[in-house]
Structure 1
Amino acid sequence: MGDQSRTTLLSPPRRWQRCLLLLCLLLSVPAWSADILLTAAEDGAGVQAFVQALALQRPDDHVTFTPLTGLPAPSQLPASTRLILLDLPSLDWRLQDAQGPWTLVLRISRLQARQRLGQGVPAKISLLWSDPPLERQLRLIATILPQARRIGVLYGADSEFLLRELRQYAAPRGLEIVPQRWDDTNDSRPLLHLFRNSDVLLGLDDPQLYNPKTAKNLLLSSYARQLPLVGPNAGFVKAGSLASTYSDQTNWLAVLDRLLDHPPAGWPRTLYPEHFKVMGNPQVARSLGIEQVDEANVAARLAEGEKRP
């Protein structure tokens, strides 16, 4: 009788322990997991590194990469798939089918999107811009070159649409946009005319104007006139421009992580990464007699400015 009584007294706590253990196990299981499919025309080391980094960042999701040639038509993919496109050929593939799954497009510039989509964005597609925001680039100029007022801008037929936006951002800051069309990149006269009338040159992410063939002429002309070039991207800073804002893989992963935590119906149609860095070229700063850019400090100041209403 005594043993039975002891067993009866001990049973309830044991049952509670089992219930608590079961509850802990249930809470540790994710409420849902997403099927995240990345694709691109080519499967290189950089692509695989990005896919692996995303998979490590989202261990509860099913993250896979399939080359574009291995995919069916977009409408044949499960509707619940969250599709991430890593290059322009994969975007062209996705645009062929309006019935495809919700899609995030990485590594696309404003210019590239306009060439393919015009001024609209198809349903169920979100564009994550690769080129630096124009307003952020102007604030970078105001931070590192506070005396500059006339912002020279080379543009072509493809990038002319960006001028209106630039003027809208420049006016409240007391900055003047000085535009110069450059149709023939073998002709240096437009460059020289622009340099004579500008305090700094802001590069647009237009590959017709800023590419390996034009870099030497642009940068040598900039040095000769002692005129800083800001932008158009981190690659050009390495080649010889003064500075630029940019977003790296870590920044893009942070953006994706936030978006993938939300239902695709709530994804923005277009988005610039809120996380970014600043790159400066110390040798160029010295050659132009300009103070070296404190990359971390400038990036923090720009980010703080974007948090304010």
Structure 2
Amino acid sequence: MGDQSRMTLLFVSRLWRRGLLLACLLLTAPAWSADILLTAAEDSAGVQAFAQALAQQRPEDHVTFTALKDLPAPNQLPATTRLILLDLPGLDWRLQDTQGPPTLVLRISRLQARQRLGTAHPAKISLLWSDPPLERQLNLIANILPQARRIGVLYGTDSEFLLPELRQYATPKGLEIVPQRWDNISDSRPLQTLFKSSDVLLGLDDPQLYNPKTAKNLLLSSYAQQLPLVGPNAGFVRAGSLASTYSDQADWLAVLDRLLDHPPANWPRTLYPEHFKVVGNPQVARSLGIEQVDEVAVAARLAEGEKRP
């Protein structure tokens, strides 16, 4: 009986929390405010800091964070809610229901979206890409390595779909994409083949290819060939690649602030953040005999170039 009573109390408590959340969301708010609900599977310090920063940035809106486990089904949330998902479990939860509120999805890469959605795009869901834009990365290469013309690109089954887009951006810039499939990360022969026909390597944000297990082999092999690696992200630059573009929390907050100023009907289906920074690895630049990347100046040049038609 004791166990049954505790289970009943737990069930009632959970229902009460969900009911309280819905009641809070349904409270009448001033006409100029919006109910903005952030959620994630993990209620970490970083997630809380992001939610608090957004709340401070939009004091006239009602900004709250609720852990994913405490939310009802998406269709039980008020239709006027503006939902912001901070991780992939949140997207999986949202995809179970076509009737949920307008949703912005952060921290999702092109590959992750492809794996979950294929080529489909559900209504009322906007995807804000976490991986650097391909064209921006090519522009970075053109800025810091102006002599490079042959852009070596490792790809796998998951990232192959990005190659046509990459070629589309490269051709007008006078750049040649040299693709090399790498199915077996224990086999270094594809790397050696690619190194011989490339001036620089551009890393795609494909975790099957660029991860802690492959980093040492990739980086040491490229150093041995005096071949710089650009990308795939800021984390890999810290590990030993030359440079990358990236967007940090301040950039994402700026993107959200702009989007939330508009009705959800006007939100784009997909979006790369227009605000970004450049990170370089001075030690790698010295090792390769390359001029150190001036992060601020290069980022400014790239941003100015993106403003021009």
The TM-score normalised by the length of structure 1 is 0.90
The residue type equivalent to 2:298 in the other structure is V
Gaps of 5+ in 1: 1-28
Separation in 2, partners of 1:194, 1:30: 60
Give the corresponding residue for 2:245: 245
Residue 165 of structure 1 pairs with residue 160 of structure 2: no
Separation in 1, partners of 2:31, 2:94: 30
Residue 254 of structure 1 pairs with residue 254 of structure 2: yes
Give the corresponding residue for 2:84: 84
After superposition, residues 84-233 of structure 1 pair within 5 angstroms as 84-233=84-233
The residue type equivalent to 2:142 in the other structure is A
1:225-283: CA deviation from partner (whole Å, max 9, x where unpaired): 00000000000000000000000000000000000011001000000000000000000
The residue type equivalent to 2:209 in the other structure is L
The residue type equivalent to 1:141 in the other structure is I
Count of paired positions: 281
1:10-62: CA deviation from partner (whole Å, max 9, x where unpaired): xxxxxxxxxxxxxxxxxxx9751101000011010110110010000000111
Separation in 2, partners of 1:272, 1:182: 27
Separation in 2, partners of 1:188, 1:144: 27
Separation in 2, partners of 1:125, 1:299: 30
Give the corresponding residue for 1:270: 270
Q: 1:98 to 1:30 in 2, by over 3 A?
A: closer
Q: Indicate the structure (1 or 2) with the bigger Cα radius of gyration.
A: 1
Identity %: 87
Separation in 2, partners of 1:41, 1:121: 22
Give the corresponding residue for 1:42: 42
The residue type equivalent to 2:277 in the other structure is K
Deviation at 1:218, TM superposition (A): 0.4
Separation in 2, partners of 1:58, 1:212: 38
The residue type equivalent to 1:57 in the other structure is Q
Separation in 2, partners of 1:141, 1:258: 29
Deviation at 1:95, TM superposition (A): 0.2
Give the corresponding residue for 1:308: 308
Separation in 1, partners of 2:291, 2:216: 23
Separation in 2, partners of 1:57, 1:153: 39
The residue type equivalent to 1:117 in the other structure is L
The residue type equivalent to 2:173 in the other structure is R
Separation in 2, partners of 1:188, 1:48: 42
Separation in 2, partners of 1:30, 1:285: 54
Separation in 2, partners of 1:175, 1:282: 25
The residue type equivalent to 1:255 in the other structure is V
Deviation at 1:120, TM superposition (A): 2.2
Instruction: Indicate the SS of the match to 1:161.
Output: helix
Gaps of 5+ in 2: 1-28
Separation in 1, partners of 2:79, 2:136: 36
The residue type equivalent to 1:239 in the other structure is A
Separation in 1, partners of 2:216, 2:273: 30
Instruction: Indicate the SS of the match to 1:279.
Output: strand
1:147-180: CA deviation from partner (whole Å, max 9, x where unpaired): 0000000000000000000000000111000000
Deviation at 1:119, TM superposition (A): 1.1
CA RMSD after TM alignment: 0.9
The TM-score normalised by the length of structure 2 is 0.90
The residue type equivalent to 1:49 in the other structure is A
